[in-house]
Structure 1
Amino acid sequence: MTTLKSKLHDDLTAAIKARDELRSSTLRLTLTAIAKEEVAGDAARELSDAEVEKIIAREAKKRREAAEAFAQGGRAEQAERERAEGELLADYLPKQLTDDELDGLVAEAVEEAKAGGAEGPRAMGAVMKIVNPKIAGRAEGGRVAAAVKRRLAG
Protein backbone atom coordinates (compact mmCIF):
# COMPACT_ATOMS: atom_id res chain seq x y z
CA MET A 1 0.00 0.00 0.00
CA THR A 2 1.37 3.37 -0.96
CA THR A 3 1.21 6.10 1.63
CA LEU A 4 0.14 9.61 0.70
CA LYS A 5 3.65 10.83 1.57
CA SER A 6 5.31 8.33 -0.79
CA LYS A 7 2.86 9.35 -3.52
CA LEU A 8 3.97 12.97 -3.02
CA HIS A 9 7.62 11.85 -3.30
CA ASP A 10 6.90 9.85 -6.49
CA ASP A 11 5.01 12.78 -8.01
CA LEU A 12 7.87 15.12 -7.08
CA THR A 13 10.38 12.87 -8.86
CA ALA A 14 8.13 12.76 -11.95
CA ALA A 15 7.67 16.55 -11.87
CA ILE A 16 11.43 17.13 -11.66
CA LYS A 17 12.03 14.78 -14.61
CA ALA A 18 9.27 16.54 -16.58
CA ARG A 19 10.81 19.92 -15.62
CA ASP A 20 7.42 20.98 -14.20
CA GLU A 21 8.66 23.84 -12.04
CA LEU A 22 5.28 24.72 -10.47
CA ARG A 23 4.49 21.13 -9.45
CA SER A 24 8.00 20.34 -8.23
CA SER A 25 8.37 23.48 -6.11
CA THR A 26 4.86 23.08 -4.63
CA LEU A 27 5.45 19.42 -3.74
CA ARG A 28 8.92 20.21 -2.38
CA LEU A 29 7.47 22.86 -0.02
CA THR A 30 4.69 20.51 1.07
CA LEU A 31 7.11 17.64 1.76
CA THR A 32 9.25 20.06 3.78
CA ALA A 33 6.19 20.99 5.87
CA ILE A 34 5.52 17.27 6.41
CA ALA A 35 9.15 16.60 7.39
CA LYS A 36 9.06 19.53 9.85
CA GLU A 37 5.94 18.10 11.47
CA GLU A 38 7.59 14.66 11.72
CA VAL A 39 10.53 15.98 13.73
CA ALA A 40 8.48 18.38 15.86
CA GLY A 41 7.97 17.23 19.43
CA ASP A 42 10.05 14.88 21.54
CA ALA A 43 10.63 12.07 19.07
CA ALA A 44 10.71 11.90 15.28
CA ARG A 45 7.86 9.84 13.88
CA GLU A 46 6.18 8.81 10.65
CA LEU A 47 2.91 10.69 10.06
CA SER A 48 -0.30 8.86 9.20
CA ASP A 49 -2.07 9.62 5.90
CA ALA A 50 -4.71 11.56 7.86
CA GLU A 51 -2.01 13.74 9.43
CA VAL A 52 -0.32 14.26 6.04
CA GLU A 53 -3.73 15.20 4.61
CA LYS A 54 -4.17 17.87 7.33
CA ILE A 55 -0.80 19.38 6.40
CA ILE A 56 -1.69 19.40 2.69
CA ALA A 57 -5.02 21.06 3.53
CA ARG A 58 -3.20 23.68 5.64
CA GLU A 59 -0.72 24.33 2.81
CA ALA A 60 -3.57 24.62 0.26
CA LYS A 61 -5.39 27.07 2.53
CA LYS A 62 -2.22 29.18 2.85
CA ARG A 63 -2.02 29.32 -0.96
CA ARG A 64 -5.68 30.43 -1.27
CA GLU A 65 -5.21 33.15 1.33
CA ALA A 66 -1.99 34.34 -0.31
CA ALA A 67 -3.71 34.38 -3.72
CA GLU A 68 -6.44 36.60 -2.28
CA ALA A 69 -3.92 38.94 -0.69
CA PHE A 70 -1.90 39.22 -3.92
CA ALA A 71 -5.07 39.80 -5.96
CA GLN A 72 -6.15 42.59 -3.60
CA GLY A 73 -2.67 44.06 -3.80
CA GLY A 74 -2.90 44.18 -7.59
CA ARG A 75 -0.27 41.49 -8.10
CA ALA A 76 -2.20 39.25 -10.49
CA GLU A 77 0.79 37.15 -11.54
CA GLN A 78 1.67 36.06 -7.99
CA ALA A 79 -2.05 35.55 -7.21
CA GLU A 80 -2.34 33.24 -10.23
CA ARG A 81 0.68 31.20 -9.15
CA GLU A 82 -0.60 30.82 -5.58
CA ARG A 83 -4.01 29.78 -6.95
CA ALA A 84 -2.36 27.20 -9.24
CA GLU A 85 -0.34 25.80 -6.30
CA GLY A 86 -3.50 25.58 -4.19
CA GLU A 87 -5.36 23.70 -6.94
CA LEU A 88 -2.43 21.34 -7.39
CA LEU A 89 -2.48 20.51 -3.67
CA ALA A 90 -6.27 20.10 -3.69
CA ASP A 91 -5.78 17.10 -6.00
CA TYR A 92 -4.23 15.24 -3.05
CA LEU A 93 -7.17 15.94 -0.74
CA PRO A 94 -10.56 14.25 -0.52
CA LYS A 95 -13.12 15.75 -2.88
CA GLN A 96 -14.66 18.81 -1.22
CA LEU A 97 -18.34 18.73 -0.30
CA THR A 98 -20.79 20.84 -2.29
CA ASP A 99 -22.85 23.39 -0.34
CA ASP A 100 -25.89 21.10 -0.60
CA GLU A 101 -23.97 18.08 0.72
CA LEU A 102 -22.56 20.17 3.57
CA ASP A 103 -25.99 21.57 4.47
CA GLY A 104 -27.41 18.04 4.49
CA LEU A 105 -24.77 16.77 6.91
CA VAL A 106 -25.21 19.85 9.12
CA ALA A 107 -29.00 19.41 9.16
CA GLU A 108 -28.58 15.78 10.32
CA ALA A 109 -26.13 16.85 13.04
CA VAL A 110 -28.52 19.59 14.26
CA GLU A 111 -31.32 17.02 14.54
CA GLU A 112 -28.99 14.68 16.39
CA ALA A 113 -27.97 17.46 18.80
CA LYS A 114 -31.65 18.36 19.37
CA ALA A 115 -32.37 14.72 20.22
CA GLY A 116 -29.56 15.00 22.76
CA GLY A 117 -31.16 18.11 24.25
CA ALA A 118 -28.95 20.79 22.66
CA GLU A 119 -30.88 23.54 20.85
CA GLY A 120 -30.51 27.11 19.59
CA PRO A 121 -27.27 29.08 19.25
CA ARG A 122 -25.82 27.40 22.36
CA ALA A 123 -25.89 24.06 20.53
CA MET A 124 -23.03 25.14 18.24
CA GLY A 125 -20.35 23.11 20.09
CA ALA A 126 -22.52 20.00 20.29
CA VAL A 127 -23.38 20.18 16.57
CA MET A 128 -19.73 20.76 15.57
CA LYS A 129 -18.71 17.72 17.64
CA ILE A 130 -21.23 15.58 15.75
CA VAL A 131 -20.63 16.97 12.25
CA ASN A 132 -16.82 17.27 12.16
CA PRO A 133 -16.01 13.53 12.06
CA LYS A 134 -18.57 13.09 9.24
CA ILE A 135 -16.91 15.81 7.18
CA ALA A 136 -13.31 14.78 7.88
CA GLY A 137 -11.29 17.10 5.66
CA ARG A 138 -13.91 17.48 2.95
CA ALA A 139 -14.79 21.06 3.93
CA GLU A 140 -12.89 23.85 5.67
CA GLY A 141 -13.69 24.52 9.32
CA GLY A 142 -14.88 28.08 8.66
CA ARG A 143 -17.28 26.86 6.00
CA VAL A 144 -18.66 24.19 8.35
CA ALA A 145 -19.08 26.66 11.23
CA ALA A 146 -20.92 29.11 8.95
CA ALA A 147 -23.29 26.36 7.79
CA VAL A 148 -23.98 25.31 11.39
CA LYS A 149 -24.65 28.92 12.44
CA ARG A 150 -27.07 29.39 9.52
CA ARG A 151 -28.90 26.20 10.42
CA LEU A 152 -29.13 27.03 14.15
CA ALA A 153 -30.32 30.60 13.47
CA GLY A 154 -32.92 29.43 10.95
Structure 2
Amino acid sequence: MIRDDIKAALITAMKGGDKATTATLRLVQSAIKNRDIEARTGKAPDDDDALVVEVLQKMVKQRRESIEMFVKGGRQELADGEAAEVAVIERFLPTQMDEAATAAAIEAIKAELGAVGMKDMGRVMAELKARHATTLDMSKASAAVKAALS
Protein backbone atom coordinates (compact mmCIF):
# COMPACT_ATOMS: atom_id res chain seq x y z
CA MET A 1 0.00 0.00 0.00
CA ILE A 2 1.13 3.53 -0.74
CA ARG A 3 0.41 4.60 2.83
CA ASP A 4 2.93 2.05 4.13
CA ASP A 5 5.51 3.12 1.54
CA ILE A 6 5.19 6.73 2.71
CA LYS A 7 5.61 5.71 6.35
CA ALA A 8 8.72 3.64 5.53
CA ALA A 9 10.19 6.50 3.47
CA LEU A 10 9.58 8.91 6.36
CA ILE A 11 11.45 6.66 8.77
CA THR A 12 14.32 6.31 6.28
CA ALA A 13 14.48 10.08 5.75
CA MET A 14 14.49 10.74 9.49
CA LYS A 15 17.26 8.20 10.08
CA GLY A 16 19.24 9.66 7.17
CA GLY A 17 18.86 13.22 8.45
CA ASP A 18 17.14 14.44 5.28
CA LYS A 19 15.17 17.35 6.73
CA ALA A 20 13.50 18.46 3.48
CA THR A 21 12.16 15.00 2.64
CA THR A 22 11.10 14.43 6.25
CA ALA A 23 9.14 17.70 6.29
CA THR A 24 7.45 16.92 2.96
CA LEU A 25 6.49 13.40 4.00
CA ARG A 26 5.05 14.73 7.25
CA LEU A 27 2.94 17.14 5.20
CA VAL A 28 1.78 14.23 3.06
CA GLN A 29 0.84 12.17 6.10
CA SER A 30 -1.01 15.13 7.56
CA ALA A 31 -2.98 15.65 4.34
CA ILE A 32 -3.86 11.95 4.23
CA LYS A 33 -4.97 12.05 7.86
CA ASN A 34 -7.18 15.08 7.11
CA ARG A 35 -8.70 13.25 4.14
CA ASP A 36 -9.37 10.22 6.37
CA ILE A 37 -11.27 12.47 8.77
CA GLU A 38 -13.28 13.96 5.89
CA ALA A 39 -14.04 10.47 4.60
CA ARG A 40 -15.71 9.53 7.88
CA THR A 41 -18.64 11.82 7.13
CA GLY A 42 -18.78 11.41 3.34
CA LYS A 43 -18.30 8.68 0.79
CA ALA A 44 -14.82 7.21 1.06
CA PRO A 45 -13.23 5.52 -1.97
CA ASP A 46 -13.44 1.74 -1.82
CA ASP A 47 -9.70 1.41 -2.33
CA ASP A 48 -7.34 2.98 0.23
CA ASP A 49 -4.69 3.55 -2.45
CA ALA A 50 -7.25 5.53 -4.48
CA LEU A 51 -7.77 7.85 -1.50
CA VAL A 52 -4.03 8.33 -1.02
CA VAL A 53 -3.43 8.91 -4.75
CA GLU A 54 -6.23 11.49 -4.78
CA VAL A 55 -4.55 13.37 -1.92
CA LEU A 56 -1.11 13.16 -3.56
CA GLN A 57 -2.43 14.39 -6.92
CA LYS A 58 -4.09 17.33 -5.21
CA MET A 59 -0.87 18.20 -3.38
CA VAL A 60 1.17 18.06 -6.59
CA LYS A 61 -1.36 20.26 -8.38
CA GLN A 62 -1.26 22.84 -5.56
CA ARG A 63 2.53 22.93 -5.61
CA ARG A 64 2.70 23.30 -9.39
CA GLU A 65 0.34 26.27 -9.15
CA SER A 66 2.54 27.73 -6.39
CA ILE A 67 5.66 27.25 -8.51
CA GLU A 68 4.02 29.12 -11.36
CA MET A 69 3.06 32.00 -9.06
CA PHE A 70 6.50 32.15 -7.44
CA VAL A 71 8.23 32.25 -10.82
CA LYS A 72 5.93 35.05 -11.98
CA GLY A 73 6.66 36.91 -8.75
CA GLY A 74 10.43 36.53 -9.12
CA ARG A 75 10.81 34.24 -6.09
CA GLN A 76 12.88 31.44 -7.61
CA GLU A 77 14.13 30.14 -4.24
CA LEU A 78 10.55 29.47 -3.15
CA ALA A 79 9.74 27.87 -6.51
CA ASP A 80 12.76 25.58 -6.09
CA GLY A 81 11.51 24.52 -2.65
CA GLU A 82 8.08 23.68 -4.04
CA ALA A 83 9.68 21.77 -6.93
CA ALA A 84 11.66 19.69 -4.42
CA GLU A 85 8.41 18.85 -2.62
CA VAL A 86 6.78 17.84 -5.92
CA ALA A 87 9.69 15.48 -6.61
CA VAL A 88 9.25 13.80 -3.21
CA ILE A 89 5.47 13.47 -3.57
CA GLU A 90 5.63 12.14 -7.14
CA ARG A 91 7.77 9.20 -5.98
CA PHE A 92 4.61 7.69 -4.49
CA LEU A 93 2.24 8.33 -7.38
CA PRO A 94 1.61 5.55 -9.88
CA THR A 95 2.96 6.25 -13.34
CA GLN A 96 0.56 8.43 -15.28
CA MET A 97 -0.93 7.37 -18.61
CA ASP A 98 0.65 9.05 -21.62
CA GLU A 99 -1.40 10.86 -24.26
CA ALA A 100 -1.69 7.84 -26.55
CA ALA A 101 -2.93 5.58 -23.73
CA THR A 102 -5.35 8.28 -22.58
CA ALA A 103 -6.74 8.66 -26.09
CA ALA A 104 -7.11 4.89 -26.42
CA ALA A 105 -8.96 4.68 -23.09
CA ILE A 106 -11.28 7.52 -24.10
CA GLU A 107 -12.03 5.92 -27.47
CA ALA A 108 -12.74 2.56 -25.82
CA ILE A 109 -15.16 4.13 -23.34
CA LYS A 110 -16.73 6.27 -26.07
CA ALA A 111 -17.38 3.17 -28.20
CA GLU A 112 -18.63 1.14 -25.24
CA LEU A 113 -21.11 3.82 -24.16
CA GLY A 114 -22.08 4.81 -27.69
CA ALA A 115 -21.13 8.42 -26.97
CA VAL A 116 -21.35 10.69 -29.99
CA GLY A 117 -21.56 14.29 -28.84
CA MET A 118 -20.93 16.75 -26.08
CA LYS A 119 -24.13 15.71 -24.31
CA ASP A 120 -22.38 12.43 -23.45
CA MET A 121 -19.32 14.08 -21.90
CA GLY A 122 -20.52 13.58 -18.31
CA ARG A 123 -21.04 9.85 -18.80
CA VAL A 124 -17.67 9.42 -20.50
CA MET A 125 -15.87 11.41 -17.78
CA ALA A 126 -17.58 9.44 -15.00
CA GLU A 127 -16.57 6.12 -16.54
CA LEU A 128 -13.04 7.36 -17.22
CA LYS A 129 -12.67 8.46 -13.60
CA ALA A 130 -14.06 5.16 -12.33
CA ARG A 131 -11.57 3.13 -14.36
CA HIS A 132 -8.45 5.30 -14.48
CA ALA A 133 -8.62 7.90 -11.67
CA THR A 134 -5.29 6.88 -10.14
CA THR A 135 -3.33 6.88 -13.39
CA LEU A 136 -4.84 9.91 -15.10
CA ASP A 137 -4.78 13.66 -14.58
CA MET A 138 -8.50 14.33 -14.83
CA SER A 139 -8.07 18.00 -15.80
CA LYS A 140 -6.04 16.99 -18.86
CA ALA A 141 -8.43 14.13 -19.55
CA SER A 142 -11.35 16.55 -19.61
CA ALA A 143 -9.80 18.46 -22.49
CA ALA A 144 -9.06 15.19 -24.32
CA VAL A 145 -12.65 13.96 -23.88
CA LYS A 146 -13.99 17.29 -25.09
CA ALA A 147 -11.78 17.06 -28.20
CA ALA A 148 -12.81 13.45 -28.84
CA LEU A 149 -16.52 14.21 -28.58
CA SER A 150 -16.60 17.37 -30.67
Aligned residues: 145
- Any unmatched runs of 5+ in structure 1? none
CA contact (8 A) 1:56 1:93 kept: yes
Residues 4-153 of structure 1 aligned to structure 2 (within 5 Å): 4-40=2-38, 41=40, 48-114=48-114, 118-153=115-150
Alpha-carbon separation, structure 1, partners of 2:74 and 2:101: 35
Q: Secondary structure at the match of 2:135?
A: coil
Alpha-carbon separation, structure 1, partners of 2:66 and 2:143: 22
CA contact (8 A) 1:105 1:134 kept: no
- Any unmatched runs of 5+ in structure 2? none
> Aligned residues: percent identity?
30
Alpha-carbon separation, structure 2, partners of 1:127 and 1:86: 30
Distance 1:132 1:39, change over 3 A: closer
CA contact (8 A) 1:63 1:83 kept: yes
Alpha-carbon separation, structure 2, partners of 1:145 and 1:49: 23
Q: Deviations over 1:41-64 (max 9, x none)?
A: 45xx9x822212211121121111
Alpha-carbon separation, structure 1, partners of 2:149 and 2:57: 27
CA contact (8 A) 1:67 1:78 kept: yes
Scaled by the length of structure 2, what TM-score is found? 0.86
Q: Point out which structure has higher relative CO (alpha carbons under 8 A, 6+ apart).
A: 2
**For the aligned residues, what is the CA RMSD?**
1.9
Alpha-carbon separation, structure 2, partners of 1:131 and 1:36: 26
Alpha-carbon separation, structure 2, partners of 1:59 and 1:7: 17
